[in-house]
């Protein structure tokens, strides 16, 4: 330990060390022991007791010991602090601006360290704290706003809030934050310093807010030592594989990174090394891949940098469709000079295009069939084509050279006889332009260039449903693109030809964009629903660390064009089947290389990992230990004497020494930690519940009492006679013998080692069940993933009211506990484990509600639980244990209404 790193908060108290010489002289000034001379006549005085004790000088070791005690007390009064960091010397409250937007996720452990250092300094300085966040959150039904500023709070309350603080996967709102600070005039008058934890990246409103805050109080910027400003800006398919573009800040030296491509199950399909050259802000790399592997990619991320910006999801539109263009037998189109040129140029970059007769295409299993004019070979393949469309295929048709070539059986609308010309010698009408695409069209949101015109078209009869079938129309209201469903399939008709004689649409970029929207509608993975979705519900969303989880009720459905990611539309996958689109954060991030210009009087510092340690408690503990040693020495001196001859006195001395040694040994053993919770043999012979030790004594006692009460309730009300619950540690205990493990979360939870993580993952994979209890009514699955990083926690969803868990013994409708928070469990349980959930998560503080009245300690009494609530909590506990022991044997009871309905028929 470097003594130069010790700071004394009250150095004036060190003046007390000046009295140590005086104390030394006082102790040593006592007279020496009288000289003893043997006098034979003194035997006559044997047995008499003296009423006055002779004074004697204290031994040198006792003098030193007592001086050390006084020294420790003086040092404790001076409040020594190791590694003290002076963030601000001003008096008054501290305003902490915690950067919790997307850019903070890459360095979030450092930000948490900085926050705790600031809180520790405020605790030592006895200062109150205000905490403001930069990322907005969902508010109300459809809006979002910044969270309220927390404060003034004590350092202890600030510590609890920091444990719940986490980054958001969207941009900050600095303008709204400064308005919020300005509205709190009382706070502006009371704060003495502003500590802003952020990086040096320029973002809208950041420098302006710093200038305005500088007029309120001095600003100190605390940033990470190394900023990981990097994002995946684009991911494109090409003919050889895929191309990736990274945007990042300028690096002084070259950096090597690894790109990871994963499939829909999260398995790594590809590892690709990328070198980022210095003095560049954009890096592009090409990865050659086979088409089938490219189709399987669901996300691409950067290894070691976990943010929403470094994860790029593909969605269903990424999968390359197989498109077959129907040609006559023996025809081999020459694309560079043939009429298929524009069609091939629009489709081939995004799909696998094949030119073949109809029969061969149907046998090859294409997703989309394209026909120009009449369908060649339809006579012999009529039944096969009709079956293919009804089973989920998409037939896209174009007008041909004549109107008589269009077969009415495979059209979405009824056509009029003949076609319609614009601008011809026999027509007085001018060429028509396109109207904006309607909201019911999959092309909604695509901008239409004004130079696109239509000279000729197929006219549709004005049927009653013509409006719902129209995806694009001309300025006079006539349809240009129509569509209709056939069972699970779809038929689409372009009322113009795919070459440039009827319209210049095939020559434009709009034609390419239309095909980009059209191809995903032929989903090869799920053909159960051919209806078009114009409102795309959230399927899965990313948190700030780029981890996918189930969406909650605050996330709204998506509409095209895609919005900027925010609280209502975080990055993720929206929609279902072939219309599932990926909303990524990277494409919306620019200027990652720009540096913010801080005001001249702003202090900029780096966050260090040196924590402040208050040594006053250590000094007090040392003084207490020395005082105990001094008392023990006095006992030994008064009971052990060379002149003592009676055996009883000697025996007393021996017993006292043995007692002191035994007590010391027990204290040492107790401090070293308890023994293993249970022997493996005992756990294997009789089933029992278990709880994970937290090393927080009150929480462990609470868990022990709760599971003991639940075990007793099970013995009284069911046939389950379980042994007393065990306290287990995954670092040293085998978990495989326990059907259910209760896991209470605590503040400041330390991550498990890799060995313990592997043990827990094996336990879950082999059929074990863990009930995780946050005990604070907060049941956000994203928070659970942050706390349990490294564990294979499945995707969680809210437990429905008819889940087997609520029917396994008692008929319940909720996971009753001390609180009434919802229960989350496996969204897709492993069928290999009989469909039984392996992870359950809630915040209901079940252990407090499961305790029996006779087993509760005064410190664990919870008076806010009514008898009815405790009874319902016991019933849920019984259901939970039965579910863990018996699995889904009550599955038929869940479906009992449907079974009775079938029997009634």
* Model pLDDT for residues 547-605, shown as the tens digit of each residue: 888 888 788 988 877 889 999 999 999 987 667 889 999 999 988 889 999 998 888 88
Other Cβ atoms less than 10 A from the Cβ of 227: the count is 16
Residue 378's region, left for phi above 0, alpha for psi from -120 to 50, else beta, is alpha
Question: For the purposes of burial, counting CB atoms within 10 Å of the CB of 813, is it exposed (0-12), middle (13-18) or buried (19 or more)?
Answer: exposed
pLDDT one-digit tens code per residue, 712-738: 999 888 888 888 898 998 888 888 889
Distance CA 311, CA 349 (A): 23
Contact 780, 554 (CB under 8 A): no
**Eight-class DSSP state of 690:** E
Q: Which residues pair with 301 in a beta bridge?
A: 260, 311
pLDDT one-digit tens code per residue, 195-241: 999 999 999 999 999 999 988 889 999 989 888 899 999 998 877 88
Q: Which residue has the tokens 């087993």?
A: 855
Q: Which residues pair with 368 in a beta bridge?
A: 323, 394
Indicate if the pLDDT at residue 533 is higher than 70. Answer: no
Helix (H, G, I), strand (E, B) or coil at 632: helix
Res 290: pLDDT: 85
Question: Which among 103, 25, 4 is positioned nearest to 67, based on CA atoms?
Answer: 25
Q: How confident is the model at residue 694 (pLDDT cuts 50, 70, 90)?
A: confident
Backbone angles phi, psi at 195, to 5 degrees: -115, 115
Distance CA 557, CA 569 (A): 8
Q: Is the dihedral of CA 812, 818, 820, 822 positive or negative?
A: negative
Backbone angles phi, psi at 194, to 5 degrees: -120, 125
Helix (H, G, I), strand (E, B) or coil at 665: helix
Res 633: pLDDT: 77
Question: For the purposes of burial, counting CB atoms within 10 Å of the CB of 652, is it exposed (0-12), middle (13-18) or buried (19 or more)?
Answer: middle
Provide the token pair at 65: 């010991």
Res 507: pLDDT: 92
Res 13: pLDDT: 67
Question: For the purposes of burial, counting CB atoms within 10 Å of the CB of 451, is it exposed (0-12), middle (13-18) or buried (19 or more)?
Answer: exposed
Q: Is the dihedral of CA 850, 856, 859, 865 positive or negative?
A: positive
Report the length, in residues, of the chain. 905
Distance CA 300, CA 310 (A): 8
Indicate if the pLDDT at residue 493 is higher than 90. Answer: yes
Q: How confident is the model at residue 873 (pLDDT cuts 50, 70, 90)?
A: very high
Res 377: pLDDT: 82
Helix (H, G, I), strand (E, B) or coil at 70: helix
pLDDT-wise least confident of 87-91, 215-219, 863-867: 87-91
Helix (H, G, I), strand (E, B) or coil at 386: helix
Question: Which among 376, 255, 365 is positioned nearest to 305, based on CA atoms?
Answer: 255
Indicate if the pLDDT at residue 761 is higher than 80. Answer: yes
Q: What mean pLDDT is predicted for residues 451-477?
A: 91
Provide the token pair at 282: 């954009």
pLDDT-wise least confident of 246-260, 495-509, 832-846: 832-846
Indicate if the pLDDT at residue 134 is higher than 90. Answer: yes
Distance CA 9, CA 674 (A): 38
Res 192: pLDDT: 87
Q: What mean pLDDT is predicted for residues 638-657?
A: 49
pLDDT-wise least confident of 15-29, 369-383, 818-832: 15-29
Pick 408 or 104 by higher pLDDT. Answer: 104
> Half-sphere exposure (CA, 13 Å, Cβ side) for 399?
28
Sheet holding 572-574, edge to edge: 548-549, 538-542, 572-574, 581-583
Indicate if the pLDDT at residue 526 is higher than 70. Answer: no
Contact 117, 650 (CB under 8 A): no
Distance CA 237, CA 294 (A): 8
Res 75: pLDDT: 80
Contact 261, 270 (CB under 8 A): yes
For the chain, helix, strand, coil in percent to 5 are 35, 20, 45
Indicate if the pLDDT at residue 9 is higher than 90. Answer: no
Q: What mean pLDDT is predicted for residues 151-174?
A: 89
Distance CA 257, CA 696 (A): 40
Question: Which among 79, 21, 66, 80 is positioned nearest to 623, based on CA atoms?
Answer: 66
Beta-strand relationship, 824-826 and 80-82: unpaired
Indicate if the pLDDT at residue 425 is higher than 60. Answer: no
Q: Residue 98: which H helix or E strand, with range?
A: strand 93-98
213-223: burial string, b at 16+ Cβ within 10 Å, e else: bbebbbbbbbb
Indicate if the pLDDT at residue 901 is higher than 70. Answer: no
Q: Quick one: three-class SS letters along 798-821? A: ECCCCCHHHCCCCCCCCCCCCCCC
Provide the CA 136 distance to its chain's centre, in angstroms. Answer: 17
Q: How confident is the model at residue 648 (pLDDT cuts 50, 70, 90)?
A: very low
Helix (H, G, I), strand (E, B) or coil at 136: coil
Backbone angles phi, psi at 837, to 5 degrees: -65, 140
Backbone angles phi, psi at 867, to 5 degrees: -60, -40
- Max mean pLDDT among 37-51, 326-340, 601-615 falls in 601-615
Q: Residue 65: which H helix or E strand, with range?
A: helix 60-77
0.85 cut: is pTM over it?
no
Q: How confident is the model at residue 291 (pLDDT cuts 50, 70, 90)?
A: confident
Pick 850 or 88 by higher pLDDT. Answer: 850
**Eight-class DSSP state of 245:** E
Distance CA 585, CA 566 (A): 9
Indicate if the pLDDT at residue 494 is higher than 80. Answer: yes
Indicate if the pLDDT at residue 751 is higher than 80. Answer: no
Counting residues of the chain whose pLDDT is more than 90, the rounded percentage is: 28
Cis amide bond preceding 105, omega within 30: no
Mean confidence (pLDDT) of the chain = 81
Angstrom CA distances, 392 to 385, 386, 402, 488, 730, stand at: 11, 10, 29, 4, 50
Res 671: pLDDT: 40
Contact 425, 455 (CB under 8 A): no
Rg (CA), the chain: 38
Q: How confident is the model at residue 859 (pLDDT cuts 50, 70, 90)?
A: very low
Res 437: pLDDT: 93
Res 41: pLDDT: 61
Contact 882, 851 (CB under 8 A): no
**Eight-class DSSP state of 138:** E
Res 40: pLDDT: 64
Counting residues of the chain whose pLDDT is more than 70, the rounded percentage is: 78
pLDDT-wise least confident of 183-187, 290-294, 664-668: 664-668
Q: Quick one: three-class SS letters along 153-180? A: ECHHHHHHHHHHCCCCCCCCCHHHHHHH
Res 488: pLDDT: 82
Backbone angles phi, psi at 669, to 5 degrees: -65, -40
Distance CA 666, CA 5 (A): 35
Question: For the purposes of burial, counting CB atoms within 10 Å of the CB of 905, is it exposed (0-12), middle (13-18) or buried (19 or more)?
Answer: exposed
Helix (H, G, I), strand (E, B) or coil at 701: helix
Query: Which residues, other chains included, contact 458 with Cβ-Cβ below 8 Å and sequence gap of 6+?
Result: 399, 403, 406, 415, 416, 419, 420, 493, 495, 496
Res 501: pLDDT: 86
Q: What mean pLDDT is predicted for residues 35-44?
A: 62
Beta-strand relationship, 394-398 and 368-372: parallel
- Max mean pLDDT among 65-79, 644-658, 787-801, 867-881 falls in 867-881
């Amino acid at each position: 330990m470097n003594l130069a790193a010790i700071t004394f908060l009250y150095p004036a108290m060190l003046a007390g060390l000046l009295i140590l010489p005086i104390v030394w002289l006082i102790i040593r000034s006592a007279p020496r022991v009288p000289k003893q001379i043997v006098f034979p006549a003194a035997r006559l005085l044997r047995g008499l007791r003296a009423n006055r004790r002779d004074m004697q000088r204290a031994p040198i070791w006792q003098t030193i010991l007592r001086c050390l005690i006084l020294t420790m007390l003086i040092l404790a009064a001076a409040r020594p602090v190791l590694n003290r960091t002076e963030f601000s010397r001003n008096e008054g409250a501290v305003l902490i601006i915690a950067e919790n937007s997307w850019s903070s996720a890459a360095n979030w452990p450092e930000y948490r360290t900085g926050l705790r250092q600031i809180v520790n300094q405020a605790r030592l300085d006895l200062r109150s704290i205000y905490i403001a966040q930069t990322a907005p959150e969902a508010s109300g039904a459809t809006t979002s706003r910044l969270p309220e500023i927390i404060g003034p709070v004590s350092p202890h309350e600030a510590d609890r809030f920091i444990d719940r603080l986490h980054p958001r996967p969207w941009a900050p709102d600095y303008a709204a934050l400064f308005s919020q600070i300005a509205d709190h005039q009382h706070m502006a008058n009371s704060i003495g310093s502003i500590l802003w934890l952020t990086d040096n990246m320029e973002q809208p409103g950041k420098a302006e807010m710093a200038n305005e805050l500088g007029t309120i109080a001095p600003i100190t910027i605390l940033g990470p030592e190394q900023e990981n400003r990097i994002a995946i800006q684009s991911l494109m398919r090409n003919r050889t594989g895929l191309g990736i573009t990274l945007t990042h800040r300028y690096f002084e030296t070259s950096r090597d990174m690894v790109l990871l491509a994963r499939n829909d199950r999260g398995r790594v399909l590809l590892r690709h090394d990328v070198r980022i050259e210095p003095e560049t802000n954009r890096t592009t790399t090409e990865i050659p891949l086979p088409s089938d592997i490219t189709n399987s990619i669901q996300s691409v991320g950067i290894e070691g940098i976990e943010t929403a910006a470094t994860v790029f999801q593909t969605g269903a539109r990424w999968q390359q469709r197989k498109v077959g263009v129907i040609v006559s037998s023996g025809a081999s189109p020459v694309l560079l000079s043939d009429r298929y040129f524009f069609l091939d140029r629009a489709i081939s970059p995004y799909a696998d295009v094949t030119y073949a007769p109809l029969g061969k295409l149907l046998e090859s299993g294409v997703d989309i069939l394209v026909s120009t004019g009449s369908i060649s070979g339809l006579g012999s393949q009529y039944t096969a084509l009709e079956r293919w469309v009804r089973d989920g295929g998409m037939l896209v048709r174009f007008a041909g050279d004549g109107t008589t070539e269009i077969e009415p059986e495979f059209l979405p609308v009824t056509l009029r006889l003949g076609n319609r010309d614009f601008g011809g010698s026999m027509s007085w009408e001018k060429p028509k332009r396109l109207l904006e695409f309607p909201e019911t069209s999959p092309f909604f949101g695509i901008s239409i260039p004004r130079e696109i015109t239509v000279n000729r078209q197929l006219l549709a009869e004005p049927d009653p449903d013509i409006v719902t079938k129209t995806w694009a129309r001309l300025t006079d209201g006539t349809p240009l693109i129509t569509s209709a469903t056939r069972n699970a399939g779809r038929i689409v008709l372009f009322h113009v030809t795919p070459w440039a004689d009827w319209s210049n649409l095939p020559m434009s970029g709009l034609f390419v964009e239309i095909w980009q929207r059209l191809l995903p509608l032929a989903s090869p993975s799920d053909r159960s629903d051919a209806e078009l979705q114009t409102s795309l519900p959230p399927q899965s969303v990313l948190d700030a660390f780029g981890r996918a989880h189930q969406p909650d009720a605050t996330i709204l459905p998506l509409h095209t064009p895609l919005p900027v990611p925010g609280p209502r539309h975080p990055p993720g996958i929206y929609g279902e089947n072939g219309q599932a689109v990926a909303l990524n954060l990277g494409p919306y991030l620019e200027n990652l290389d720009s540096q913010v210009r801080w005001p001249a009087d702003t202090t900029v510092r780096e966050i260090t990992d040196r924590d402040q340690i208050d040594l006053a408690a250590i000094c007090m503990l040392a003084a207490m230990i020395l005082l105990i040693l001094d008392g023990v020495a006095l006992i030994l001196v008064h009971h052990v004497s060379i002149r003592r001859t009676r055996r009883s006195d000697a025996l007393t001395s021996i017993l006292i020494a043995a007692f002191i040694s035994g007590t010391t040994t027990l204290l040492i053993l107790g401090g070293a930690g308890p023994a293993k919770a249970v022997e493996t043999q005992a756990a294997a012979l009789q089933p029992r519940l278990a709880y994970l030790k937290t090393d927080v004594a009150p929480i462990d006692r609470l868990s022990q009492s709760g599971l003991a009460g639940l075990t007793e309730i099970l013995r009284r009300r069911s046939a389950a006679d379980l042994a007393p619950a065990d306290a287990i540690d995954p670092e040293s205990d085998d978990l495989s013998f326990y059907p259910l493990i209760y896991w209470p979360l605590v503040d400041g939870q330390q991550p498990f080692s890799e060995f313990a993580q592997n043990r827990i993952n094996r336990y879950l994979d082999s059929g074990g069940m863990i009930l995780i209890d946050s005990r604070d009514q907060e049941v956000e699955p994203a928070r659970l993933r942050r706390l349990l990083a490294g564990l294979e926690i499945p995707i969680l969803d809210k437990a429905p009211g008819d889940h087997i868990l609520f029917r396994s013994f008692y008929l319940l409708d909720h996971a009753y506990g001390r609180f009434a928070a919802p229960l989350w469990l496996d969204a897709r349980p492993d069928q290999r484990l009989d469909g039984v959930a392996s992870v359950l998560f809630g915040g209901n503080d079940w252990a407090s509600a499961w305790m029996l009245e006779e087993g509760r300690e005064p410190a664990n009494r919870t008076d806010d639980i009514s008898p009815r609530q405790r009874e319902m909590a016991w019933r849920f506990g019984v259901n939970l244990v039965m579910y863990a022991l018996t699995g889904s044997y009550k599955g038929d009871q869940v479906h009992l209404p449907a079974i009775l309905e079938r029997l009634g028929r």
